[in-house]
Amino acid sequence: MKPDTHATWQALARAAEASERLHLREMFAADVQRFASLSVSWNDWLLDYSKQRVTTATMALLHGLWHTADVPGWIARMRAGEAINHSEGRAALHIALRRPAFAGPILHAGHDVMPAVLAELDKMQRFVAQIHGRHWRGATGEPISDIVNIGIGGSDLGPRMATQALAAFRHPELTVHYVANLDGADLATVLAGLQPRTTLFIIASKTFTTQETMQNAASARHWLVQALGEAAVARHFVAVSTNLAEVARFGIDPANAFAFWDWVGGRYSLWSAIGLPLALAVGFDNFRQLLAGAHAMDEHFFSAPPEENLPGLLALLEIWNTNFLGADNRALLPYSQSLGLLPRYLQQLEMESNGKQVDRQGLPLHCATAPILWGEAGTNGQHAFYQLIHQGGRLVPCEFIVCRQPDFALSGHHEKLLANCFAQSEALMRGRTLAETTAELVASGMTAAQVALLAPYRSFPGNQPSTTLLLPRLDPFTLGALVALYEHKVFVESVIWNINPFDQWGVEYGKQLASRLLPVIVGTAQGEQLDSSTAGLVAACRSG
Ligand code: F6P
């Protein structure tokens, strides 16, 4: 069903019109219970959305969308292993990857996937134990000190983000590096500090055909073979892929290949063997805790009503901001250095999933889908782009994430971090009127002329909506639940927008054109069909 034809959608459009007359500071002044009615807890988490431009009546309408779009029905389809990724004819069963053994089967095409999932986890665990126990030796008999994960997109961003997020849990004697970019500067700078004798590469690629990863893998192989000879490859390369035939062709021993399945989307694959570098970085017990946290969020998502459903609430608020208030972006602002890569990770998860223009019936959509997601760890962002959020005149819904407890307990830091985080959402909500600013400047002793000059610059419109997610502490369990929260948020949005969040055809066209251009750049083809700009750029490179 087209989202904008729901009666609820029309009612929300009217509510949005009415909300234009309201300012968040007036909403808070009018209702001292606002925080109590517009915040929700889950275990020891707190989601405060009282600084969003909603009323309880708006929320009731948004909860209605959950039902009219049949979110519960789509959850059931996902759990039943139906091919909800219809344009690729695939199921989306990442929930199986973090399901504990006792929780029962998950069926795909009539077969329980759980035995294979659990067996692959056990294989990963044995491998991690070998590396950590220094039983796995390189070709010269030395233990491994450095792991280099070579992958891109979903085969990079998840474990990279989580390795940084769980820095407090890192194994002391093993360093995990990540290489993704096709630009040789990425691999070259990582290799510059490493010794082939003690380095192990993980080639991570669902398809094992991705140009960036294959080029980096070939260059890494060359670096190793030059130093240690061809026979060393087996002791220094392992792979993670769904395409085990290609892995074998690359020369990696099938015993050292970790499998996953076509029902796992790349950007939903952190929980599979794609998480191997993370498991090596933080240990397998912590990796299992990550899975347990994600599973706990799955259970919450499957059972909680929309009024209390964290992924559901985040999705409904984003739909309100995007489709009814007209926001075209969302700033993700983790007040956590360790979550510094979360905005990048969520860019892929959210924008590759829901950046779509055609609905599940192949018809053009008449409503906006995923907003542009951007952001940076606080407080760094405060000294960079917050000026625009405060006074740039754009609608920028903000999402603050902060932990009650620090993951690195240095005296004096965490209280200041909390104060900055809460102060920002307060300032964005409240703003400061010209009259307030004038009174403050007069009280500070300025002359009337100075006050008149400066007051407009020092006033803030406020009314900038935000959500704050307060977490207990950044540990593997919490991180797992946090990532699963966003996966399910994306899913709820896709159901309401009536789009497929599990394909990514938009990425393919650029890959096709790059393959067509490569022979022109290396000079084995002429490129007569090129437009004048592309032809001019190629010619300029070839002449230089
Ligand atoms: O960017 C497109 C994409 O297909 C992503 O969805 C995927 O995560 C990434 O490329 C890497 O693909 P692979 O794991 O097959 O190398």
Amino acid 458: pLDDT: 97
Q: 106-131 pLDDT, tens per residue?
A: 999 999 999 999 999 999 999 999 99
Tell me how crowded residue 9 is: count the other CB atoms within 10 A of its CB: 21
For residue 292, what are the contacts with CB-CB under 8 A and spacing of at least 6? Answer: 98, 100, 477, 480
Q: What are the Cα distances from residue 350, in Å, to 91, 260, 344, 522?
A: 18, 22, 10, 36
Amino acid 17: pLDDT: 95
Q: How far apart are CA 493 and CA 277, in angstroms?
A: 31
| Sequence spans of domains, the chain | 3-68+304-430+464-497, 101-288, 432-463, 505-543
**3-class secondary structure, 204:** strand
Q: 126-174 pLDDT, tens per residue?
A: 999 999 999 999 999 999 999 999 999 999 999 999 999 999 999 999 9
Test site for ligand 1: of 156, 356, 504, most ligand atoms within 8 A of the Cβ: 504
pLDDT bracket for residue 102 (50, 70, 90): very high
For residue 356, what are the contacts with CB-CB under 8 A and spacing of at least 6? Answer: 365, 369, 370, 497, 499, 500, 501, 506
Longest dimension (CA), the chain: 82
| Mean pLDDT within 93-113 | 97
Q: How far apart are CA 299 and CA 288, in angstroms?
A: 16
pLDDT bracket for residue 544 (50, 70, 90): confident
Both ends of the chain: CA-CA distance in Å? Answer: 55
| Mean pLDDT within 282-308 | 98
Q: 383-431 pLDDT, tens per residue?
A: 999 999 999 999 999 999 999 999 998 999 999 999 999 999 999 999 9
Amino acid 91: pLDDT: 98
Four-point Cα dihedral 56, 60, 62, 64, nearest 10: 180
246, 352, 399, 493: the catalytic one is 352
pTM of full prediction above 0.85: yes
pLDDT bracket for residue 528 (50, 70, 90): confident
Provide, rounded to the nearest whole percent, the portion of the chain with pLDDT above 70: 100
Atom of ligand 1 nearest to the CA of 269: 8
Specify whether 383 is catalytic.
yes
CATH code assigned to 3-68+304-430+464-497: 3.40.50.10490
CA of 206 to the centre of ligand 1 (A): 7
CATH of 101-288, one of 3.40.50.10490, 3.30.420.40, 1.10.10.10, 3.40.50.10330: 3.40.50.10490
Cis before 189? omega within 30: no
Q: 418-470 pLDDT, tens per residue?
A: 999 999 999 999 999 999 999 999 999 999 999 999 999 999 999 999 999 99
CA of 240 to the centre of ligand 1 (A): 13
Q: How far apart are CA 16 and CA 327, in angstroms?
A: 12
Tell me how crowded residue 226 is: count the other CB atoms within 10 A of its CB: 9
CA of 508 to the centre of ligand 1 (A): 10
Test site for ligand 1: of 88, 94, 207, 353, most ligand atoms within 8 A of the Cβ: 207
CA of 217 to the centre of ligand 1 (A): 15
Q: 69-83 pLDDT, tens per residue?
A: 999 999 999 999 999
**pLDDT value at 527 more than 90:** no
Amino acid 105: pLDDT: 97
CATH code assigned to 505-543: 1.10.1390
Rg (CA), the chain: 26
Amino acid 96: pLDDT: 98
CA angle (188 as vertex; 138, 132 as ends), nearest 5: 30
Which residues sit with their C-beta closer than 6 Å to ligand 1? 152-155, 205-207, 210, 213, 266-267, 352, 504, 507
Four-point Cα dihedral 137, 138, 139, 141, nearest 10: -50
Exposure letters 319-328 (e unless 16+ CB within 10 A, then b):
bbbbbbbebe
Q: How far apart are CA 465 and CA 50, in angstroms?
A: 9
**3-class secondary structure, 286:** helix
Four-point Cα dihedral 75, 79, 85, 91, nearest 10: 180
Four-point Cα dihedral 114, 120, 121, 127, nearest 10: 170
Domain pair 3-68+304-430+464-497 / 505-543, same fold = no
Amino acid 4: pLDDT: 81
3-state secondary structure 121-139: HHHHHHHHHHHHCCCCECC
Q: What is the mean pLDDT of the chain?
A: 96
DSSP state of 91: -
Specify whether 352 is catalytic.
yes
